[in-house]
A = this chain, B = another copy of it.
């Protein structure tokens, strides 16, 4: 399909009366965009400081001086670095009433006090400046390999100019998105420089958790045996330690998805209104809950792969063989303990069902799937199914932990086993949730969320209205 789009576009307009476009600047992106527009049926002219020196490998595309080129079209694409915009100030007359399309990007986020497009609008007051095309890659335009995003964010103060630029991008096979006035240009200019901004917190948190669990487990299972018994168990670093770390991270991160909502509820109960803003850290935490949840799912997936891979391990086979040999030598057969089956198999079942629901949550967070459900369905999945997943995973940890606690390993350097550490966050979350769904807290909370305010006189009267208004 990608290929089709491109080749479709190449013939577009070929029989229409040709619209003409001017491009200032013969740099790489300017040339790519100009050639692409030419292929899509536009008549293209370039404006350059040294028109006689610029060859474009195309006889049908002229290269003129800036002033000459500007007269050929009322749409001018400014393919010049911001640092060299100055000379455009001298062309104010030629650019009067023209649509100037600012396609520039910066090297750093918020590099200049104002956005490039606004700076351009200031320099050439009589022109209509439109910001567009900066999110598209020159290489993608040339090669037609538009596998990444085809979205072109467009902004500008003149609606008609915006519309014309949006039409051009549609003709090039791209998807224009109107983002309002020119003041939003800054955000459009920052967009291509972002590298997963919403993932920063979840990734750093995951990193910190991993280091914590790794060191913690290493202390208990590698360093302690070495110090006290001079036993070398470094080989656990290759597998067991990772499996335990990923399991702990998954359940902890999942709990941290639901914690901010509970903190928000407590704040709302305390403040008696929902109209006060949350502190910034809470707001940011709430905004990246989806990413936290997906990170948790990723680690749960790793934990599942590791756990299913357990019997493939050299040491698993060796241990099983050794156990049998011991039984044979001592002429004793271990009895079959139904209670052990319940604990092991039950723990496995809880883990499998928890992971299954977790995958369901992940699938419904795919943009194309979540777009097809209404709010009631979305809340049902993300809240009801989410808590069920958390409960299953917590009990799964508890059962496997309990298994160990009943034959308790001695406390190592006062450090409880990893299981206990992993259970802290989910236990806190489930406890808070349990408290908050009790009627004495749930009822006022529901009222607050419907708009009721505790400390406002006028609101009390408005409460009388609350059955009247939506």
Contact = CB atoms under 8 A, between A and B. Distances in A.
A239 B183 contact: no
A48 B458 CA distance: 13
Given A16-B159, A27-B451, A312-B344, 17 more contacts: A2-B287, A3-B198, A4-B191, A8-B179, A14-B183, A15-B157, A28-B466, A31-B451, A53-B458, A55-B456, A80-B468, A149-B370, A196-B373, A311-B311, A321-B323, A367-B372, A368-B371
B320 A320 contact: yes
Contacts of A13: 180-181
A374 B465 contact: no
30 contacts: A1-B198, A1-B372, A2-B198, A8-B184, A8-B187, A15-B181, A25-B468, A26-B462, A27-B465, A28-B450, A49-B465, A50-B465, A53-B461, A54-B462, A84-B468, A137-B375, A140-B375, A147-B365, A148-B370, A148-B373, A151-B371, A301-B356, A301-B359, A305-B356, A306-B349, A318-B334, A320-B321, A321-B327, A325-B328, A367-B371
Interface in A253-297: 275, 286-287, 290
Contacts of A25: 468-470
A64 to B, nearest CB: 15
Nearest to A84: B468
A11 B235 contact: no
Contacts of A15: 157, 181-183
A341 B195 contact: no
B239 A345 contact: yes
A181 B238 contact: no
Contacts of A459: 55
Interface stretch (A216-224, A376-384, A388-396, A423-431): A376-384
A143 B155 CA distance: 24
A267 B216 CA distance: 51
Nearest to A5: B179
Contact-residue bracket for chain A = 35 or more
A153 to B, nearest CB: 8
B469 A80 contact: yes
A234 interface: yes
Q: Which interface residue of A159, A312, A378 has the most chain B CB atoms within 10 A?
A: A312
Contacts of A40: 180
Nearest to A321: B324
A341 B241 CA distance: 13
Given A170-B178, A183-B14, A198-B3, A30 B469 contact: yes
Contact of A376 (B27, B179, B195, B234): B195
Contacts of A159: 16
A470 B322 contact: no
A344 B314 contact: yes
Interface in A192-226: 192-198
B135 A27 contact: no
Nearest to A80: B469
A404 to B, nearest CB: 14
Contact of A338 (B143, B195, B235, B338): B235
